[in-house]
Amino acid sequence: MSKKIIAGNWKQNGTLKSSVRLTKKILEALKKNKCRHEIIIIPPAIFLLPIKDLIYKSKIKLGAQNVSAFNNGAYTGEISGTMLKDSKVEYCLVGHSERRHIINEDEYILSSKVSQLIDNDITIIYCFGETLSEYKNKKTKLILKNQLKKLFLSNKNNLKKKPSKLVLAYEPVWAIGTGLVPSPEELASIFKFIRNTVNKMNKNYSSIKILYGGSVSEDNAPSLIDTEYIDGLLIGGASLIAKKFIDICSTI
Ligand code: PEP
């Protein structure tokens, strides 16, 4: 199996103590069993620096959950791409469904965030996916195509300059935190569609990796990762429990 990406999004969970403990357990496990995959942990912003100090000699990469749409200046409470770069953060999520639907981030904001990250050489993990009603109304492919078009054809972001700085994460909104996962047939068909759609936009985009996210567990990870065109997994809930995350990393 080729090298995959396994990213753990810790969301707004944990304490400094529990985050350090979780990181140490992952480090210990990786020392024991040789996981060939690329592991990214994505803690809450306030814990990024102490965790960076724990993982700096390891192969684990550090990701942020969010970035400001603006560069440094009078934007109280925000953290800029420049600051993330300065803190040695290598990845950042953009477009997660919780930020789209709870924080109401629109495509304009997402595009600005993409630009800020590209300017700072941080790899974007760009999440997209359909809602439950869109899925029920059989609009999945239409919605995904529109979301991808908005990302790739936006004049506002500078993605064309550095497509290697993008990883896509298909996350059906109805699968996040629900225990529901698309059927193997649905996933195979959707991933083929996403791959073709991305490749058709620009031949330079054919090496962009595409992850799956949504209720990944230690039980379903091996079959998910076997799906054609899935280059890795974005994991929420299961990434908060050391044993589950380690099992996923070591069994695929
Ligand atoms: C996520 O939040 O990106 C996610 C996939 O969550 P979960 O694995 O808990 O469904």
Task: Name the catalytic one among 38, 96, 98, 218.
Answer: 96
Distance 124 CA to ligand 1 centre (A): 17
pLDDT digits (tens, 9 = 90+) for 100-122: 999 999 999 999 999 999 999 99
Distance CA 108, CA 196 (A): 25
What is the percent of the chain with per-residue pLDDT over 70, rounded to a whole number? 100
Q: Is 171 a catalytic residue?
A: yes
Residues 6+ away with beta carbon under 8 Å from 72: 80, 82, 83
The pTM of the full predicted model, rounded to 2 decimals, is 0.97
Q: What is the pLDDT at residue 158?
A: 81
pLDDT digits (tens, 9 = 90+) for 193-245: 999 999 999 888 999 999 999 999 999 999 999 999 999 999 999 999 999 99
Distance 70 CA to ligand 1 centre (A): 27
In this prediction, residue 58 has a pLDDT band, given cuts at 50, 70 and 90, of very high
Q: Which pair of tokens denotes residue 29? A: 């496990």
Distance 215 CA to ligand 1 centre (A): 6
pLDDT at 21 over 80: yes
Return the residue whose CA atom lies nearest to atom 1 of ligand 1: 236
The CB-side HSE value for 191 (13 A sphere, CA atoms) comes to 25
Mean residue pLDDT across the chain? 95
Q: How confident is the model over 154-177, as a mean pLDDT?
A: 91
Distance 10 CA to ligand 1 centre (A): 9
Position in ligand 1 atom list of the atom nearest CA 171: 5
Q: Which pair of tokens denotes residue 167? A: 């990883």
- Of 87, 154, 77, 85, nearest to 119 by C-alpha is 85
Note the helical H segments in the chain: 16-32, 48-55, 81-86, 97-101, 107-119, 132-136, 140-153, 184-201, 221-225, 242-251
In this prediction, residue 15 has a pLDDT band, given cuts at 50, 70 and 90, of very high
The secondary structure of residue 174, as a DSSP letter, is G
pLDDT at 36 over 90: no
DSSP 190-230: HHHHHHHHHHHH-GGGGG-EEEEESS--TTTHHHHHTSTT-
pLDDT digits (tens, 9 = 90+) for 178-202: 999 999 999 999 999 999 999 999 8
Pocket test for ligand 1, best of 171, 212, 217 (most atoms within 8 A of CB): 171
For residues 135 and 33, the model is more confident at: 135
* Residues 178-204: b if buried by 16+ CB within 10 A, e if exposed: eeebbeeeebbebbebbbebbeebeee
Query: What are the pocket residues of ligand 1 if the criterion is a CB atom closer than 6 Å to any ligand atom?
Result: 9, 171, 176-177, 213-216, 234-238
Q: What is the pLDDT at residue 2?
A: 83
Q: What is the pLDDT at residue 93?
A: 98
Least reliable range by pLDDT among 7-16, 79-88, 137-146, 153-162: 153-162
